[in-house]
Amino acid sequence: MEPFAPGLYAILDASVAPLDVIPDLALVLAEAGASALQIRGKDCDARALLDGVERVRDALASTHRPPPIFVNDRVDVARLAGCSVHVGQRDITPRGARLILGPSALIGLSTHSAAQVHAAAMHPVDYIGFGPVFGTSTKPDASPRTGVEALGMAVRTSRRAVVAIGGIGRSQVADVRCSGAHAFAVISALFDDDGRGGSLDAIVGRNARALLATWHGTEAAGKLG
């Protein structure tokens, strides 16, 4: 069973966008068609992160089909906010997260190698992230890039849906989709200014629609927004 619709898995990182604007950006992304949202705040204190996640949750409650909200790493915040979680190889285990969050929450797990993809089948996770497929500047401690071929291997061997992660921009989206990945995760590409400027909301919305248009292979990819 698919954990969420295929397409854009948008990551809103508090090191890229301030926490106080993230709820507005989350609403823009949901309206643009993002399939899932992740809130990352590695340098945020727990209280501020919880407040930000709750505000995102409340903002999306008014949308027709709110995408699932994942909190990066912080299972405690996800539990208190009633959201899902994405954990890494060095975070609390997926089994521990499941015990805390219960059966209805979605749990994602980062993987970076064939061995980790294989091991993920033994964990109570709903999808795996695989990468970094390309080089990334938003995670200083990222593993070495894996490449598209390894991503395809992960898709073929995983028992779970695979979300491609790491360094994905509009020029890489088509290759990611051809690999068979269920979705593609994006951080910095959401904030790229193509020269047309405008408010942060407008830039993020325009980029999200363009990324999705490329994913779907529509000719209007460069004209949206």
Average pLDDT for runs of 10 along the chain of length 225 = 95 96 98 98 96 98 94 98 98 98 97 97 98 77 83 97 97 96 97 89 97 82 41
Displacement of CA 213 from its chain's centroid (Å): 17
What are the respective helix, strand and coil percentages of the chain, to the nearest 5?
A: 40, 15, 45
Q: Where are the alpha helices (DSSP H) in the chain?
A: 22-32, 46-60, 75-81, 94-101, 114-120, 148-157, 170-178, 200-216
For residues 107 and 40, give the distance between their C-alpha atoms in angstroms, rounded to a whole number. Answer: 15
Q: Domain extents for the chain?
A: 7-222
The confidence score (pLDDT) of residue 220 equals 42
The confidence score (pLDDT) of residue 1 equals 80
The confidence score (pLDDT) of residue 225 equals 42
Q: How many CB atoms lie within 10 A of CB 89?
A: 14
Whole-angstrom CA distances from 99 to 13, 39, 79, 102 are 26, 21, 11, 6
What CATH number does the domain located at 7-222 have? 3.20.20.70
Residue count of the chain = 225
Start-to-end CA span in the chain (Å): 33
The confidence score (pLDDT) of residue 142 equals 61
40 beta partners: 13
